[in-house]
Structure 1
Amino acid sequence: MTVLRLFRRTPSADLPALSEVLNSLGDAVLVFNSDLQISYVNACWKNLTGYTSKEATNTCFSDYIHPEELQNWIDITRKVSREGDSQFLWFRLIRKDSEVRWCEIRLQPLRSGDPFPLTATLCDITPQVREDEISKASHRSLSGLVNRIPGMLYRGRNDTRWTMEYVSEGCQELTGYNRDQLLNQTQLSIGGLIHPNDAGRVWETVQQALQQHRCFELYYQILHADGQYRQVYEKGQGIYSSTGAVLGVEGIILNISPPSE
């Protein structure tokens, strides 16, 4: 059965126009029968898969799906047939030339209340997926670089507790506490770890630098989880809104204590 016969209520004079419309689309359009065999594809199908309409007709759509994605395809078709709602799926499609492309398919019943036939649109999202993978790889590389720095990179609030909103993994070696223990905590804070003799000077120095929109550099002692104080060096700067209001502070804290004997 062709898609034109499925639209048999349309006057025959309009059928060529409908075919032209479907073939002009940039996405593949498909119709599936109750056996999930392809009964119609538009012209874009060949551009996407390399198979002609004649080669595709009466074949199972699962023949074009990467084996690892088959169960997802089965699940989505059952859900659409059972519930009658439109569903979408990202999957890997195997082209005629064996190239694997990431695609998105949107599947729905042709007629409300009837589980079959099903109609679908299919588009190539390979460039989008690759960009996402590159972005994730770049993020992993940057995160790895940050976490290998022998110190603690931070971003925090401009309050007397120096409440942390982000700290790198270097916090563990610097303070003896892990990231979960330091982030947005009320019981434990970087401000609470600064030696009492240094805390006032640290606060005043940072506030003066923020008022003048310049970087600050500090030397002070911080209490490690082992009960010993460490000498540290900190360099940071303010984070400002477009109006100049202070939103927070960010920088790096390094352990400069002499190596223990």
Structure 2
Amino acid sequence: MRLWRALREVLSGRRRSPDFDALPIALVHLDATGALRQANQGWEQLSGHRLRDCLHLDHGEFLHIEDRPVWQQALHGLGEGRATWVGNLRYLHRRTELRWVEVRLVRHGDGLLASLADITAQVPEHQQLQARHRSLSNLLDGLPLMVYRCRNNRSWSMEYVSAGCRELTGYSAQRLVDSHSLTFNALIHPADRERVWHAVQQALRESRPFAFDYRLLCADGSEKWVRERGRGIYSDLGELLGLEGVVMERGGEPTRLEEVAAGF
């Protein structure tokens, strides 16, 4: 193929061919570990980085974090004797743009050759949206706090909670979502429940976010001071659809609750 011939000419030590930089595709030469040895101008257009700033860097650093394990598996496969690898990976442009790229990877001497074709325009919008949502979910699930969306009722019926709720409360997300046997209201200390309810309703009436502290009853029977921040979610017609926010542990018992300071 023309592109591989152009790349091999460069690698053989011959004069850099104009075709090498003119090809409408990124070509890269990597060592056996995946570090960048050489590339054409197509790489600079794809990544947004100057080639001299990328040399000897791990190629995986330019990938979306979720796709780096796939890249490592590809390198491992070629290291074990596989001749080629083809797959779609997401690259992070210097301007933080996300590029979907078809990668064709082959062994060459003691290193690897790769062609990188930008296929972002060919990837359906719903697939890109699903990937963004999956990335956001993975990020939230790794944080030591609980992100939630719930209905505005006395039970605080949960429609979504992040995986951090287990560390916060001792209960899994599955136990709290759409549960009648274990409601989030039941986890709020009995002495704090009415105060929490009225603080949220007051904030909704005033169309403002809410923030306050209260005690949670955890699965192991312990009490834990937490801070909650949230807001109402509304339809285009102004109808209240629910609440969303975040609950996190507060270190030590607060000396003064925020809602008291605000005049509640």
TM-score, with length taken from structure 2: 0.48
Rg larger in 1 or in 2? Answer: 1
TM-score, with length taken from structure 1: 0.49
